[in-house]
Amino acid sequence: MPSDEDVFWMRRALRLTNRVKTHPSPGVGAVVVKAGKLISEGWTYSTPKVHAEAMALRLAGERARGATLYTTLEPCSHWQRPDGSERTPCTHHCTQAGIVRVVAATLDSNPQVSGEGFAQLEAAGVALTVGVCEEQAKEAHRAFLKHQRTGMPYVTHKAAMTLDGKLAASHAAPLAITSEPARRAVHRLRAKSDAVIVGVGTVLADDPELTVRLVRGTSPTPVIFDSMLRTPQSAKLNRPGTLILTCQQATASQGWDAELITLPADESGRVSVAVALAVLAERGLLDVLLESGGALAAAFHAALAVDRCLFFLAPKLIGGAHAPTPLDGPGLPTLIALESLRVRRYGPDIALEGKLLR
C-alpha cells in the first residue's frame, strides 16, 4: 500500500493534469518535494512544448537535489521527437537535477517509453515507486492512453434531455432544456475537449456555433458529419477551423471557409464512423465530444466507438411520439451496459455519467 504522504503529493500532481490542451501529448502533472515540503510543480504545455517534469525541475533548480519527483505518468525516455528533431527526455532531466526518488502513478503506454523510462531511472540509481493513485491517473490520461492502445480518440456522448427522454419538441422551435449551471458544465467539458462532433441535421435545425462561451477556455475543433454535403455555406460553422466530413467531392473554390474532407461511405452510404475517427486521431484530436442528434449518436454506438456517456436530465416533460431522443433510428443491435456510474447535481438538473462496459 502506498504511504499517506505519497498519496497526498500524487493527488496534488493529479490536480495539475490537463490544465491546458496538450493532445496528442498527455497533460501530465508533476511536483517536486523535499523533506515533506513542496519545492515546485509543473504541468505539460504544448506551445512551447514543455513536459511537466521538466517544468517542475527547472523551477526547483538546485533545490531539486536530494528531492522526490511525483509525476502522473512515467517520465519519457526518448531523445528524438516523431518528426526526427532532438529533445531531452525527462529521465535525463531527473538525473541531472539530482532527484533521488521518482513516484509515478502509471506506465506510459507509448512504445517509445513503455517501461524504458523506469528502467533508465533505476539504472541511474534513482529509487522508484509506481502505481500510486493509478486509477485516477488513468482516468486523467484516458484519451492519450486509449489512443496509444487503439489508435483512436476517446469519445464522450453528451446529451441534454427532459425527464421523458426528449432532446427537443417535435412541434416547436429549439428550447433551452437544461439550466444555466448545467450549460456551464457543458461548456467546461467543451473547453477540455479537442473536438466536438455534430451531424448535419443539428446544423440545419439549430445553426450552432459550438464555441466555449459560458466559461473561460479554448473552443474545440467543430466537426460536422455531412455525407451529402447539405451544410449551408451561410451556416455559422462554415468558418476556418471547422472540419466537414462528407462523401461528396468538393473544391475550395466553391466558397467554403470550413475544411472539407471527403471520406469513403459505409454500407449505409454515410460517412464511416471508424474512418472518420481515425482521421481525427491523425490530426491529434484525441478527446472528442459527441453532441449530435440521435441518429448519428446511434451510429457511433453501433460502431462501438463511444467510451463514456454524460446525460443531463432536466425535470421537464415534452412528450411526443416523434420528438428526438438521444438514440434514434431502428435501435441498437444489442443492449449496451454502463459501469462506474456517477450522479451529480447542476441546479435543478441531474447529470448521469458512466463508462461503456465492453
Catalytic residues: 53
Q: How many CB atoms lie within 10 A of CB 357?
A: 9
Q: Return the exposure string of 73-85: e unless at least 16 CB atoms fall within 10 Å of the residue's CB, then b.
A: bbbbbbeeeeeee
H helix or E strand, kind and range, residue 54: helix 52-60
Q: Given 3-state DSSP classes, what are the helix, strand and coil percentages for the chain, each rounded to the nearest 5?
A: 30, 25, 50
Q: Please report the DSSP string for 300-357 in residue order.
A: HHHTT---EEEEEEES-----TTS--SS-SS--SS---EEEEEEEEETTEEEEEEEEP
Residue 8's SS3 state is helix
Residues for the chain: how many in total? Answer: 358
CA distances from 69 to 9, 38, 96, 155 (A): 9, 10, 13, 32
- Cα angle 223, 228, 230 (rounded to 5 degrees) comes to 70
C-alpha grid cell for residue 46? Answer: 504544448
Write out the three cell numbers for 323: 420528438
Tell me, letter by letter, the H, E, C secondary structure of 146-190: HHHHHCCCEEEEEEEEECCCCCCCCCCCCCCCCCHHHHHHHHHHH
Cell of 208: 450552432
CB contact at 8 A, 258 and 237: yes
